[in-house]
Chain A
C-alpha cells in the first residue's frame, strides 16, 4: 500500500479518493518501469539538484534540493480554482465551467488530453541518451529537470484520464506508456515527437521551438470550459517555462561561443571554425530551420474542422482567449490562410473557426521570432554581421496542403530540382549532423564547459555557475 500523499504531493485530495488511488496504484509501477526503461540512461544513482513542486503556491512549487531521479516526487497539481469561472467561448459561453466531463464531448476531450499527454513521455524518450554527452554539470542538471517535469506532466494528464474517463481513461493511460518515440509499429502520435534528438544543439532547438509549441497548446487548453483540464494546464505552464529557458539560453550560449571564436580567430569561415571545435552560424541557422518547420506541423492542418469543433464546444480556446476583445464565438469572422495559387503562396480568407490552428501558429511565430531577434543581439554585440531568422511558415511542411509543394525559407514556391539543389543550404545535412555529433563529449567537472558552448550568465536558483549541480553516486 502506497502512502500517496507522501509519495505524490498533490492538491487533488488523492488520499480521500479510493477509486483514483486504485487506478494509480495499478499505473504507478508501470510508470516506474517505463522510466527505468526509457528515462535518462544510467542515472539512477546521481544526486541531482532538482526543483520539485510540493504545492502550487509561489513558495511551495519551486523547492530545490538534491534528489535521485527515480525518487523525484512526481506530483499532481492543479492551479487554484477560480471562483465562479465560466466557459468563456463557443456555444456554451457564459455557462458555469464544467467540473465533470459533459457526456457529448467525452471522446473529443479524451482525444485532446491523450494527444497532449503523449508528447510528455515522448520528450523523455527522445532525450534518453543526452545525459551521456552533457557539455557541463549545469546542462546535465537542466536536462534532468526537463525530464522529470515532462514525467510530471504525464502524471497530470494521466490523473485527468483516471479521474474523469473511467475504463477508457485507464486504457488510454496505459497506452501512453506503451507507445515509443520513433517506433515503426507503435510511434508517438505527433510527428515531431518521433524525430531523434541526437545532440545537444538539437535538444536546445527542441526545447526552444517545440516546448514553445507546448506553451501555446497548454495555454489554449488552459482556457478550456472543462475546469480540471484548464487548471492542470495552467500549472503545467509554469514548468514549461523552464524548458523554454533551457532552449533559449542554450542556443544563445552556443552562438556566444561561436562569436567569441570568430573574433579570436578573425574568421567567418565555417571550416576554420569547425576545426576550432565550435558550431558555425550557418549550421545553427540550418538546425533552426529544421526545428522551426517541424514544429510548424505540430499545430495541425491550416484549415481544420476539428479545431472548429473543439472551439465551438468550449473544449479548447485560443491563446489568451479571455484577453481578446471579440465575441468569442467567431460567428462570421474570417482569418487568412496560405494556399498555392498560380505557383505562388497567396493568403485566402477562410472562416475563422476553421483557421484556429493557423491563428495559434501565427501567435506562436511572433513569439518564437522575437526570441530569435534576442539571439541576434549576441553577434550584434560582438560586431559580427550575421543574422539568424525564422524561415517562412510554409517552409519544409509535412502536414496540410503546403506539404504538397516545396517552399524556400523566404516563402517562394520552388520546383523539386531547385529544392534538391539548395536543400543542404537550408536544412542540416548528414555531414552537419555528424560534425555536431563529433563535438559531443561529456564534461562532468563543476564549472567546466565543453568548448562549443559558453557558460551561462547565472546559475540555477542563485547558485554559482561552478556549483556541483549533479553528484555522481
Chain B
C-alpha cells in the first residue's frame, strides 16, 4: 500500500522585518483573514484563500511572503504573532505533495489557458494526475539519455527531442501534463532563473516503456515574439545538453489538459510547432493500445512553415491512415499558397463538424497564441455550414472538459 502523502500548501505569511504595520492588508482583505496585535500582522491559514487582493496595496512587499508548508503543520496565528523574522523554508517530508503550484508556474499556466477563460475541467474519464511532487526548493534531478534534432539541417528552427531519465526518482506523468525546467545560473539581477514549462511528449509509461523516462519537444529560442534576437535561457540550456548531463526538474503540473481514457473517445487535435508535444504523447498512447481495438477517431491538424520544420514529420507519416487522420498545413512551402491550420479545418469541414457534435469528442489546441482566434473562427464557420451552433456548443465543450487550449 502506498504511504499516505502529506499535503503541502503555500502558506501566505507577512514578513515582520519589513512590515510597517500600516493596516492596509487588514483593511483590504475581503474575508477578514488578516489580523494583528501590538507586535505583528498575521494571516490566518484557515481563512486565507490566496486571492492576493492584499498584495498591491502593501507599500513594503512584506505581504508577498510565502512558505511551502505541510497542511498539518501550518504556522499558527500564535506562532506568527511571536515572530521577529520570517522563518526559513523548512525541509519538506519526502512524501510531500504540494496542492499548489509555484507562483511563476501558476502565472505561466494562467497565461496559457487565458484564451479559454482559465483551466477547464479534465475529461471525465481522465486518469488522476500527480502534481507538484518536486518543488523549486527540492527539484528532481534527471539525466539526459538522448537529444535528437527533429527538424531538417537546413530548417530555420532547431527543434529537438530530448529524453530525460529519472532513475529511481518518482516522476509519474500523464499525456498533456507539463514539467518545469530550472536553468542553471542566475539572471541579470543575480536571482535564480524562473522555471520554464515544457509539455511532455511521451505517453504515461515513458518514452521507452518500463523505463522511468519522458521526452520533451524543445525549440531553441533565438528571437522573441517580435523577431528581436534574444537567447532563450532554458531552451538553449536544454538543446545544448549532451547524453549523461543532468537537469533540475520540477512538477509535474497540469490537471486539465489530459486525455480521456474511455474506449471510443475521439481526439480532435490542433497544433503548431512544439505545440505538437502533447499531441504526440496522446497519439503514442493510443498507438500503443491499437491491439485493444478501443475505437474512437484521431484527427490531427498540424501547422508549420515547411515540412522540414515540422517535428515528428517522418514518424507521423508512418502511422496507419485508419489510425489517425493527419492534416498538415504549411505556410512557407515554396511554390505553394500559404495554408494555416484553420484553412485545413475548413477544408475538412464536414468531418470536423461531425466530430465536434459528437459528445465523445475531446478537442485539444496547443501552439502559439496567434492561432487561437483563427481556429475558433474556423470551428464556428464549419459548425454554421453544417447545421450546428458553435455559440451553444463551445460553452458545453468547456464545461464538460472537452475543449482544452494551451497557447503561449
Q: Does chain A bind chain B?
A: yes
Stretch at the interface among A91-99, A267-275, A365-373, A434-442: A365-373
Q: Tell me whether A457 is interfacial, beta carbon within 8 Å.
A: yes
Q: Tell me whether A4 is interfacial, beta carbon within 8 Å.
A: no
State which size class the interface on A falls in. 20 to 34
0 or 1 for each of A355-370: is its CB under 8 Å from B? (1 = yes): 0000000000011001
Q: Are B56 and A457 in contact (CB under 8 A)?
A: no
Q: Tell me whether A245 is interfacial, beta carbon within 8 Å.
A: yes
Q: Are B22 and A240 in contact (CB under 8 A)?
A: yes
Q: Which one of B18, B24, B57, B59 contacts A457 once the chains associate, using CB atoms below 8 Å?
A: B18
Q: Are B56 and A241 in contact (CB under 8 A)?
A: no
Q: Are A62 and B57 in contact (CB under 8 A)?
A: yes
A439 to B39, CA, bound (A): 34
A241 to B18, CA, bound (A): 13
Q: Tell me whether A188 is interfacial, beta carbon within 8 Å.
A: no
When distances are taken between beta carbons in the complex, the residues of chain B under 8 Å from A42 are: none
A371 to B56, CA, bound (A): 22
When distances are taken between beta carbons in the complex, the residues of chain A under 8 Å from B53 are: 58
A58 to B30, CA, bound (A): 10
Q: How far is the CB of A371 from chain B (nearest CB, A)?
A: 7
Known A-B contacts A215-B22, A371-B21; the reply to A242 vs B59 at CB < 8 A is: yes
Q: How many A-B residue pairs have CB under 8 A?
A: 58
Q: Are A245 and B20 in contact (CB under 8 A)?
A: yes
When distances are taken between beta carbons in the complex, the residues of chain A under 8 Å from B56 are: 58-59, 61-62
Q: Tell me whether B61 is interfacial, beta carbon within 8 Å.
A: yes
Q: Tell me whether B189 is interfacial, beta carbon within 8 Å.
A: yes
Q: Which one of B17, B52, B57, B189 contacts A238 once the chains associate, using CB atoms below 8 Å?
A: B57
When distances are taken between beta carbons in the complex, the residues of chain B under 8 Å from A237 are: 22-24, 27
Q: Tell me whether A3 is interfacial, beta carbon within 8 Å.
A: no
When distances are taken between beta carbons in the complex, the residues of chain A under 8 Å from B27 are: 234, 237-238
Q: Which one of A59, A61, A377 contacts B17 once the chains associate, using CB atoms below 8 Å?
A: A377
When distances are taken between beta carbons in the complex, the residues of chain A under 8 Å from B24 are: 237-238, 241
Q: Are B39 and A370 in contact (CB under 8 A)?
A: yes
When distances are taken between beta carbons in the complex, the residues of chain B under 8 Å from A457 are: 18
A237 to B20, CA, bound (A): 13
Q: Are B22 and A370 in contact (CB under 8 A)?
A: no
Known A-B contacts A367-B21, A370-B21; the reply to A241 vs B59 at CB < 8 A is: yes
Known A-B contacts A58-B53, A238-B27; the reply to A374 vs B59 at CB < 8 A is: no
A219 to B26, CA, bound (A): 13
A457 to B17, CA, bound (A): 11
Q: Tell me whether A249 is interfacial, beta carbon within 8 Å.
A: yes
A457 to B55, CA, bound (A): 17
When distances are taken between beta carbons in the complex, the residues of chain A under 8 Å from B60 are: 245, 249
Q: Are A58 and B61 in contact (CB under 8 A)?
A: no
When distances are taken between beta carbons in the complex, the residues of chain A under 8 Å from B189 are: 464
A–B pairs, 29, beta carbons within 8 Å: A58-B52, A58-B53, A59-B56, A61-B56, A61-B57, A215-B22, A219-B23, A237-B22, A237-B23, A237-B24, A238-B28, A238-B57, A241-B22, A241-B24, A241-B57, A241-B58, A241-B59, A242-B59, A244-B20, A244-B22, A245-B59, A245-B60, A248-B20, A249-B20, A366-B38, A370-B21, A370-B39, A371-B21, A464-B189
0 or 1 for each of B19-50: is its CB under 8 Å from A? (1 = yes): 01111100110000000001100000000000
Task: Give the 5 A-B residue pairs with the shortest CB-CB distance, closest first.
Answer: A241-B22, A242-B59, A58-B53, A62-B56, A245-B59
Q: How far is the CB of B25 from chain A (nearest CB, A)?
A: 9
Q: Are A377 and B57 in contact (CB under 8 A)?
A: no
Q: Tell me whether B380 is interfacial, beta carbon within 8 Å.
A: no
Q: How far is the CB of A459 from chain B (nearest CB, A)?
A: 9
A458 to B58, CA, bound (A): 13
**What would 20 more interface pairs be, CB under 8 Å, given A59-B56, A464-B189?**
A58-B54, A58-B55, A61-B57, A62-B56, A215-B22, A215-B23, A238-B24, A238-B27, A238-B57, A240-B22, A241-B58, A241-B59, A244-B59, A245-B59, A366-B38, A367-B21, A374-B17, A377-B17, A458-B18, A462-B61
Q: Tell me whether B325 is interfacial, beta carbon within 8 Å.
A: no
- Which residue of B has the minimal Cβ distance to A142? B59
When distances are taken between beta carbons in the complex, the residues of chain B under 8 Å from A238 are: 24, 27-28, 57
Q: Tell me whether B240 is interfacial, beta carbon within 8 Å.
A: no
When distances are taken between beta carbons in the complex, the residues of chain B under 8 Å from A240 are: 22
When distances are taken between beta carbons in the complex, the residues of chain B under 8 Å from A215 are: 22-23
0 or 1 for each of B293-311: is its CB under 8 Å from A? (1 = yes): 0000000000000000000
Contacts of A367-415 to chain B: CB distance below 8 A: 367, 370-371, 374, 377
Q: How far is the CB of B266 from chain A (nearest CB, A)?
A: 40
- Which residue of A has the minimal Cβ distance to B189? A464
When distances are taken between beta carbons in the complex, the residues of chain A under 8 Å from B373 are: none
Q: How far is the CB of A57 from chain B (nearest CB, A)?
A: 8
- Which residue of B has the minimal Cβ distance to A208? B20
When distances are taken between beta carbons in the complex, the residues of chain A under 8 Å from B57 are: 58, 61-62, 238, 241
Q: Tell me whether B84 is interfacial, beta carbon within 8 Å.
A: yes
A399 to B328, CA, bound (A): 85
A234 to B23, CA, bound (A): 11
When distances are taken between beta carbons in the complex, the residues of chain A under 8 Å from B54 are: 58
When distances are taken between beta carbons in the complex, the residues of chain B under 8 Å from A377 are: 17, 84
When distances are taken between beta carbons in the complex, the residues of chain B under 8 Å from A374 are: 17
Q: Which one of B23, B38, B52 contacts A370 once the chains associate, using CB atoms below 8 Å?
A: B38
A241 to B60, CA, bound (A): 9
0 or 1 for each of B53-75: is its CB under 8 Å from A? (1 = yes): 11111111100000000000000
A374 to B18, CA, bound (A): 9
Contacts of A425-458 to chain B: CB distance below 8 A: 457-458
